[in-house]
Amino acid sequence: MKKPIILFDLDGTLIDSTEAIVLSFYNTFEKFSLEKPKREDIVKNIGHTLEDMFISLGVSKDLVDECVLEYKRNYRKRSLSMTHLLPNAKDAIEFAYSFARLGIVTTKTGRYSKEILEHMGIMKYFEVLIGREDVEHPKPHEEPIQKALYQMKSSTLDVWMIGDTKLDLLCAKRANVNAVGVLSGYGKYEELKEHSDMIEKNSLDAVKFILQNYTK
């Protein structure tokens, strides 16, 4: 029997690094003497690429690349100490691992994401981690999921993506895989519902739903 594949988003789905992200943006804006954005404007854009986030926060395109590098320097200093697993996330991962093959698809930098998951002792559950630097076209484009499945040498059509924003659900839809939205992160119910009929409270509930509904 072929196992299903479950791909997880990170921020808002399995981990919470909101404070590390917000502080790293603040440090970057201070470094370049830019007007500090509102916290809520940063938070509502989490899940998008750093480039898109800086542009949406008013940074000129000619300064974006420098801002991204400065952000990454700041984020790496605090990412391990200021990131934690969301409630039920480890249970979700371990439960999913008992019947499925697992991967991570994120717009975060893959290198730093692996460091965080290794620090938490959970990277061992995942066969692949696709980060921002691994693709030309990030979510909501289908490339991240396609690359994950290619690296996993997938031979099953039973693939599920779990994520907390419309970017995750659109990525899944475009890659022609199942999408389960979760309300543990940054996306609102009404927004998620536009892109998937399958919405659960958190990643553990999403995994339980998949166990009940994948083709056995």
pLDDT above 90 covers a percentage of the chain that reads 96
Residues 6+ apart with CB under 8 A from 65: 51
Q: How far apart are CA 86 and CA 22, in angstroms?
A: 17
The structure's pTM equals 0.94
Q: How far is CA 195 from CA 71, 76, 138, 202, in A?
A: 31, 33, 18, 17
9 is catalytic: yes
Q: How far apart are CA 133 and CA 149, in angstroms?
A: 17
Q: How far is CA 174 from CA 43, 58, 109, 209, in A?
A: 25, 29, 22, 21
Helix (H, G, I), strand (E, B) or coil at 137: coil
pLDDT tens profile 3-37: 999 999 999 999 999 999 999 999 999 999 999 99
pLDDT-flagged residues of the chain (< 50): none
Structural domains in the chain, CATH included, are 5-16+83-213 (3.40.50.1000), 18-78 (1.10.150.240)
Residue 216: the pLDDT is 67
Spot the catalytic one: 9, 11, 134, 205: 9
Name the nearest CA neighbour of 18 among 45, 43, 40, 54.
43
